[in-house]
Amino acid sequence: MDCYVKMKNVDLYYPSTMYNARTLKQEIFSKLRFEKTKENLEDVHALRNFNLEIHDGERVGVIGFNGAGKSTLLKALGGVYPIKNGTIETKGEIRSMFELTLGFDMESTGRENIMYRGLMLGGTPKEVKEKEQEIIDFAELGEFIDYPIRAYSSGMLVRLAFAISTSVRGDILLVDEVLSAGDINFQKKARQRMLNVMDNAKILVLVLHDMAAIEEICNRTILIKQGEIIADGKPSEIIKEYYKYMK
Per-residue pLDDT at 19: 46
- What are the extents of the domains in the chain? 4-92+207-246, 97-201
Pick the CATH number of 97-201 from 3.40.50.2300, 3.30.1380.20, 3.40.50.300, 3.20.20.150: 3.40.50.300
The residues that bridge with 97 in the sheet, in sequence order, are 175
Q: For residue 11, which of 73, 103, 79, 86 has the smallest C-alpha distance?
A: 86
Q: Looking at the domain covering 4-92+207-246, what would its CATH class be?
A: alpha beta
Section 107-128 average pLDDT: 92
Per-residue pLDDT at 180: 66
pTM (2 decimals)? Answer: 0.83
Residue 226 pLDDT greater than 80, yes or no: yes
The two domains 4-92+207-246 and 97-201 share their CATH topology (first three levels equal): yes
Per-residue pLDDT at 85: 95
Lowest mean pLDDT among 23-37, 122-136, 154-168, 230-244: 23-37
Per-residue pLDDT at 203: 97
With vertex at residue 160, the alpha carbon angle to CA 158 and CA 92, rounded to the nearest 5 degrees, is 100
pLDDT tens profile 174-212: 999 877 677 778 888 888 999 999 999 999 999 999 999
